[in-house]
Amino acid sequence: MSNVDLIIIGAGPGGYRAAEYAAKQGLQVVIFEGSEVGGTCLNVGCIPTKTYVHSATFEEARERMVAVVAQLRQGVEGILSHPNITLVRERASLVDNHTVACSVSGDVIAAKNIIIATGSETKWLPIKGFDDPRVVDSTGLLQQETLPKSLAIIGAGVIGMEFASVFNRFGSEVTVIEFLKECLPALDSDIAKRLRKYLEKQGITFKMKTAVENIADIDADVILMATGRKPRVQADFANAGIEYDERKGVTVDENFKTTVDGIYAIGDVNGKQMLAHAAEMQAIHAVNQIIGKKDGIRFDIMPAAIFTEPEAACVGPTEDQLKEQGVAYECKKSFWRANGKALAMNETEGMLKLFVADDGRILGCHAYGAHSADMVQEVSVLMCRDTTIDQLRDMVHIHPTLGEILFSAVN
């Protein structure tokens, strides 16, 4: 049995970032990956879907996806070739709170610390007839070799809306079926509604407040089940004594430490913030905990984007949440159609809402429109430094840019 400083299970954005950072801090690391390095994000998530968004046709998207994913995988393999890192291409299971076993070779490795970064998987709703061969998850949809003539999407969350937008542009007849009143529940409802209405004008059919009872009732060539993802927990986690729940994932504290000393759980598997950049930042924080280094990462400020066309993005609470919480706020709005660069780009659809506290601090920002993710990124940075709108008014923004949309909201 060999001994190292840190064992990491899973080489997605959480796992490989933890390995890279820990190795640079001088730790000896063993990282296990049971499939391809890069995890969901690189192989079947963020990267393939964004390659689709930025391709003109379905055929081009499929071709480019293979090349882009292969290139990025090589990049991750490069990161994991650091002399302090050993990549084991096998599934791993926990033997006890310090020991991990390889699934194939049966080798056993021990470490003072373990990071679980096993990610998440599709949550299949047990709707009657869901084993119909027309039903696929996001991975299955990315594997389709021909463009479906008609595509039905169950669920108007991030994954459902992104696929709806891009397959509609490729020429599929797209219908989105959603149980709730509005799409994208994490997004301000006003912004979400405007985005949905715009996508409706582009040709997508939305059936809101509709529950699918039987797959046989859906008339479409392909049916995407986009009803969420669940943390990928394993029965052997119990061998180490850590607490976990099939639905909510591994229980962790604010430092991503599980209920057992020396074992951390980062990324999708803890069910906190299922985003690639959240996994990466949690990785850095967990390693900092292990080496006793303080950092100032603000996990309460977690921007997110939805890559529909146009894209949408948000950071901080929605207006409905601010009202529910009884927070005093002012809402400042700004529109793409009033911005010179947006007009020049012929990207006039979009609105930004900035929420400001009584003392001028920025509470959050929700927007849809071309490059709204970049704008929300700027707001997140400002929020991390508790910037007030008076301070924002003093910051020069280049003309002509879409960044002026944010600037004009406060002027």
Tokens 């397959």 label which residue?
A: 167
Counting contacts by CB under 6 A, is residue 382 touching ligand FAD? no
Up-side HSE of residue 383: CA atoms within 13 Å toward CB? Answer: 25
Rounded to the nearest whole angstrom, what is the least distance from the CB of residue 158 to ligand FAD in the complex?
Answer: 7
Max intra-chain CA distance, the chain? 66
* Binding to ligand FAD, residues 151-180 (CB under 6 A): 159
Given the complex with ligand FAD, which of 46 and 356 has the nearer CB atom?
46
Counting contacts by CB under 6 A, is residue 224 touching ligand FAD? no
Q: Cβ distance 367 to 376 under 8 Å? A: yes
Collapse the DSSP code of 306 into the 3-class scheme (helix H, G, I; strand E, B; otherwise coil) and give the result.
strand
Counting contacts by CB under 6 A, is residue 286 touching ligand FAD? no
Span of 174-182, 199-207, 266-274, 333-341 interacting with ligand FAD by CB under 6 A = 266-274
Establish whether 399 is a catalytic residue. Answer: yes
Tokens 């927990």 label which residue?
A: 233
Total residues in contact with ligand FAD, by rule CB under 6 A: 36
> What sign results for the dihedral spanned by CA atoms 293, 297, 299, 303?
negative
Asked, as a colleague might, if the bond just before 310 is cis with ω within 30 of 0, I would say: yes
- Closest by Cα among 51, 46, 79 to 67: 51
Counting contacts by CB under 6 A, is residue 138 touching ligand FAD? yes
Counting contacts by CB under 6 A, is residue 8 touching ligand FAD? no
Rounded to the nearest whole angstrom, what is the least distance from the CB of residue 397 to ligand FAD in the complex?
Answer: 26
* Binding to ligand FAD, residues 335-354 (CB under 6 A): none
Span of 31-39, 127-135, 200-208, 308-316 interacting with ligand FAD by CB under 6 A = 31-39
Q: Cβ distance 361 to 311 under 8 Å? A: no
Compute the 3-state secondary structure of the chain and give helix, strand, coil in percent, each to the nearest 5. Answer: 35, 25, 40
Q: Find the angle CA(404)-CA(410)-CA(411) to the nearest 5 degrees.
A: 80
Distance of CA 396 to the CA centre of its chain: 31
Given the complex with ligand FAD, which of 13 and 369 has the nearer CB atom?
13
Q: Cβ distance 372 to 350 under 8 Å? A: yes
The C-alpha R_g of the chain, in whole angstroms, comes to 22
Counting contacts by CB under 6 A, is residue 222 touching ligand FAD? no
Counting contacts by CB under 6 A, is residue 120 touching ligand FAD? yes
Beta strands at 2-9 and 29-32: parallel, antiparallel or unpaired: parallel
Given the complex with ligand FAD, which of 5 and 268 has the nearer CB atom?
268
Span of 36-44, 66-74, 201-209, 317-325 interacting with ligand FAD by CB under 6 A = 36-44
Rounded to the nearest whole angstrom, what is the least distance from the CB of residue 24 to ligand FAD in the complex?
Answer: 18
Given the complex with ligand FAD, which of 32 and 264 has the nearer CB atom?
32
The active-site residue, picked from 54, 98, 277, 399, is: 399
Given the complex with ligand FAD, which of 169 and 332 has the nearer CB atom?
169
Counting contacts by CB under 6 A, is residue 279 touching ligand FAD? yes
Counting contacts by CB under 6 A, is residue 380 touching ligand FAD? no
- The whole-angstrom separation of Cα 7 and Cα 99 is 9
Window 177-216: contact mask with ligand FAD (x via CB under 6 A): ----------------------------------------
- The whole-angstrom separation of Cα 183 and Cα 161 is 8
Q: Which of 5, 40, 111, 166 binds ligand FAD (CB under 6 A)?
A: 40
Counting contacts by CB under 6 A, is residue 123 touching ligand FAD? no
Task: Specify the DSSP class assigned to residue 7.
Answer: E
> What sign results for the dihedral spanned by CA atoms 272, 273, 274, 278?
negative
Q: How many residues are given for the chain?
A: 411
Counting contacts by CB under 6 A, is residue 332 touching ligand FAD? no
Q: Which of 20, 119, 166, 168 binds ligand FAD (CB under 6 A)?
A: 119
The DSSP line for 223-274 is EEE-S-EEE---GGGGGGT--EETTTEE---TT-B-SSTTEEE-GGGG-S--
Span of 20-28, 37-45, 311-319, 334-342 interacting with ligand FAD by CB under 6 A = 37-45
Q: Which of 46, 184, 215, 312 binds ligand FAD (CB under 6 A)?
A: 46
Q: Cite the beta strand spans of 103-172 per DSSP E.
A: 108-116, 120-122, 135-136, 150-154
Q: Which of 276, 286, 287, 354 binds ligand FAD (CB under 6 A)?
A: 276
Q: Which residues are catalytic?
A: 399
Q: Summarize as ranges the residues that interact with ligand FAD (CB under 6 A).
A: 9-15, 32-35, 39-41, 45-46, 49, 91-92, 117-120, 138, 159, 232, 234, 267-269, 274-277, 279, 307
